[in-house]
Structures are given as C-alpha cells and as structure tokens.
C-alpha cells in the first residue's frame, strides 16, 4: 500500500506500507541517493514472518516531493515524526541505512525517540561521515567535495563511481544498474544538498549519547563509505547497544550478506 503524507505546506512524502496488519512494525529509512526500494529484500521476507514493514522516500528522493530546501537532519527527522504521527505508530523498530541511519539518530535525540522501542543502524553515517580534527576515522573531506562537484558536473557518472564502492561481494550488473536508476530518480539539488550535510556541522556525537532504547549496529568491516570505526564509535556512545561486524561485507550489507542481515534484524526485533 502506497500513499503520500504531508510533512509541511506543499511537501508530501511517499510512504510504502507493506502488511499493515502485521503484529510488529519496522520503519526503514534509506540512505543516499536511493529510496525505500533499497529495502526490497526485506519487504519481500519480513512480512512473511508477520511484520509490518514501512518504508519512506526521504524528501527529494524516490517518489516524494523534491523541494529546494529542507535537507538538514533536523528537518529530515521532523519528516519522520510527521509519518509516525500520521500512521499513529507506537512501539516500533526504527531502522536506518547510511545517511538514513544518521537521520534516525537525530530523530532519537530531537524527538526523544518518540514511539520507538528499538533502534537499528545499518552502516550508519554517524557520528560523522568525514574526518575532523577530533575524529580521524571517517572519509577525507576532499572525497565528499569531489562527490558534490561531480553531482553538479556529471551526476550519472558520479553515481556510477559511487556504485562501484558500495559492494564487497559480487552482484549482477542488472542489480547494479537498478540501484543506479534509483539514484537518478532523485533531484540533482537534493542529491547535492544531502552530500553537503556531511561536510557541515551535522555532527551526531551528542545525539548518540541520548539514545536509551536497545540498539543494533550492523556494519560491514570492508565498508568503503561509512568506515567501520564509525560503528565502533556508535557502540561506545550508545549504552544499550550491540555491534555485529559483518566480515567480507561492504556498505550495502543488505545485499552483500542478505540472509544474515535479515536474520540478525529479525532476531533483534524478537528479543
């Protein structure tokens, strides 16, 4: 079931609600530059086990509206709150991948984890995607600057180059092409704006410390985008958290190790 939810005047967010009568709910937030379809292989399996799976397309991506502004973590987390309120969600698991994980972390801090009983972070871009003087574990700043410049000069080629970084294990060319097409559905200005947040002051060190609910951290050791030390930092910052390293696994761990990813997620929800 797909529909739109208004999050502010003139801006509507697309929501995919699979198995609305499921006995437990997980709300999934995608990473850059995709949309909710990145979780296709969770939507295929988890509803069979009785779960309600909800995916949203963040503003600027997928089927959602693509306004010029509103791409900071505060506004993006407020969009999640609008969806939670509209669907009257309670006691749900909130899961986010990459930048989606960062947005989930901001949601937990800004909205006091409203409605969330458990949090799951998948290769999350937290507490900082890039290296800083006090945090030497992320990507070099220039790497992100190159991405932003590439979006403005040749977005398709930039997304192709990004696609070459996200897998550790083999995926078919058609699957890679499909993910590439999901990225092209985003607005170019949205794609650049999200990348710009990685450079700015969107730091999540304090946000992580506010999280009180049980938290699962799944992260590929071979991740070339959100480097594995980010997961270690998340583990140390979130008191009630569990880190599960995925060996021989890259940034898109729900493709690199699909069966294990689903198993770990379901086990966590059931604990």
**Residues noted as catalytic:** 98, 223, 251
Question: b or e along 78-113 (b: 16 or more beta carbons within 10 Å of the residue's beta carbon)?
Answer: bbbebbbeebebeebbbbbbbbbbbbbbbbbbbeeb
Query: How many CA atoms lie within 13 Å of 79's alpha carbon, on the beta-carbon side?
Result: 30
Q: Do 54 and 27 meet the contact criterion of CB atoms below 8 Å apart? A: yes
Q: Could you tell me where the DSSP H helices lie in 111-257? A: 141-163, 173-184, 188-199, 205-209, 228-237, 253-256
Q: How many CB atoms lie within 10 A of CB 32?
A: 25
Grouping H, G, I as helix, E, B as strand and the rest as coil, residue 10 is coil
């Amino acid at each position: 079931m797909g529909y739109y939810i208004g999050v502010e005047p003139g801006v509507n967010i697309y929501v995919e609600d699979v198995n609305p009568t499921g006995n437990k709910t997980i709300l999934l937030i995608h990473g850059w530059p995709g949309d909710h379809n990145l979780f296709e292989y969770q939507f295929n399996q988890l509803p069979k086990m009785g779960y309600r799976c909800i995916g949203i397309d963040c503003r600027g991506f997928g089927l959602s509206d693509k306004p010029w502004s509103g791409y900071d973590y505060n506004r993006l987390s407020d969009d999640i709150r609008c969806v939670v309120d509209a669907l009257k969600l309670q006691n749900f698991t909130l899961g986010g991948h990459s930048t989606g994980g960062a947005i989930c972390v901001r949601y937990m801090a800004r909205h006091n984890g409203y409605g969330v009983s458990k949090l799951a972070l998948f290769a999350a871009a937290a507490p900082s995607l890039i290296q800083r003087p006090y945090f030497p574990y992320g990507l070099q700043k220039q790497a992100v600057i190159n991405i932003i410049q590439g979006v403005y000069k040749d977005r398709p080629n930039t997304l192709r180059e990004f696609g070459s970084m996200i897998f550790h294990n083999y995926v078919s060319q058609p699957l890679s092409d499909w993910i590439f097409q999901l990225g092209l559905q985003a607005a170019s200005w949205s794609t650049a704006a999200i990348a710009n947040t990685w450079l700015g002051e969107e730091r999540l060190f304090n946000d992580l410390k506010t999280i009180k609910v049980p938290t699962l951290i799944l992260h590929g050791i071979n991740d070339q985008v959100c480097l594995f030390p980010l997961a270690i930092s998340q583990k140390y910052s979130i008191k009630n958290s569990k880190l599960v390293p995925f060996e021989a696994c890259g940034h898109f761990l729900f493709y690199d190790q699909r069966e294990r990813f689903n198993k770990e997620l379901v086990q966590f929800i059931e604990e």
